[in-house]
Amino acid sequence: MSDDVRVVVSNDEDGNEVKVAVLKPKSNHLREAQLAYNRAFRDALESGALLRQKLEDHMREQGIWDDAKQKQYDDVNKTILDGEKKLAKGGISLSEAKTLALDMRVARGELRDLIAERTVMDGNTAEGQADNARFNALIGECVVSSDNNNVKKFETLEDYDAVASQPWAVEAASQLANMLYDLDPNYDNNLPENKFLKDYSFVNEDLRLVNDDGHLVDSQGRLINEEGRFIAYDDKGEEYFIDIEGNALTEEGDYVVEFQPFLDDSGKPVSKPGEETETATATKKKRTTRKKKTEEETEEAEN
């Protein structure tokens, strides 16, 4: 496949296969996109949108960003950078290096959350709105039929907006972004902490933690399944669910125990509302039999 064309095979929201091609933007595409940027930027300024350089001041005024958030951002960055240096240098125990790598993964997630807070606000700036308009224009120009690269998939921006959240459209946009901004599709795999964890078999191909037997585990080494539920294996090697303390559970999450009736203050079983215990049922049956027998005896005596 040419580096200038990427074919996307995915599905729509109903599970039907959709196949499109994504073209690498050329000069004529970029010119059209720049015009869309200029129009959106002008409209955003006229409607009172902030410039990007004023964003942090605005976020501080609104209490969205403050010195504490900035310190957290700086500290998280330092944790990641210090960890990268230590992993690159080596000379520490493997267990310490594993703990370091896992801490870096947590820090990386915190950093993404902090960046996301700023990114959401950035989309409202004049530049942010213009950037979105430019990218959407490129979607319209570069997402085409997989059979004929001259046939656009979207005739108007409204056509794209109508399906933008569907899997195939999301994948097409992702491919375009990779081509446009030279993004690394293997970014997560190439992070220093993940490369270390893969090199020493602490994670699988999906970067999920595994034990020495290749079974999925959580950060504390406890067995889990694909959905993250705690599991254990019986003597036959069959999997079953457990709680955090190791007690067996059903698939629905109920404890696997034999229920015993609750007792009253005298130690006798108490039936559930609308139900009777076996003892209560037996007692009732015995009383009914005794009553019936007495009635029969009375009737015979009267005859």
pLDDT tens for each residue of 35-63? 999 999 999 999 999 999 999 899 999 88
Residue 173 pLDDT class (50, 70, 90 cuts): very high
pLDDT tens for each residue of 145-168? 999 888 999 999 899 999 999 999
Residue 289 pLDDT class (50, 70, 90 cuts): low
Q: Are 44 and 130 in contact (CB under 8 A)?
A: yes
Residue 288 pLDDT class (50, 70, 90 cuts): low
Determine the pLDDT at residue 300: 62
Cα distance between residue 220 and residue 218, in whole Å: 5
Single-letter amino acid code for the residue at 237: G
Q: Are 120 and 64 in contact (CB under 8 A)?
A: no
Determine the pLDDT at residue 2: 60
CB atoms within 10 A of CB 293: 10
Q: Are 87 and 193 in contact (CB under 8 A)?
A: yes
Single-letter amino acid code for the residue at 212: D
pLDDT tens for each residue of 204-234? 999 999 999 999 999 999 999 999 999 999 9
Cα distance between residue 155 and residue 138, in whole Å: 12
Q: How many residues does the chain have?
A: 303
Q: Are 36 and 134 in contact (CB under 8 A)?
A: yes
Residue 185 pLDDT class (50, 70, 90 cuts): confident
Model's pTM, two decimal places?
0.72
* Backbone φ, ψ for residue 253 (5° rounding): 95, 10
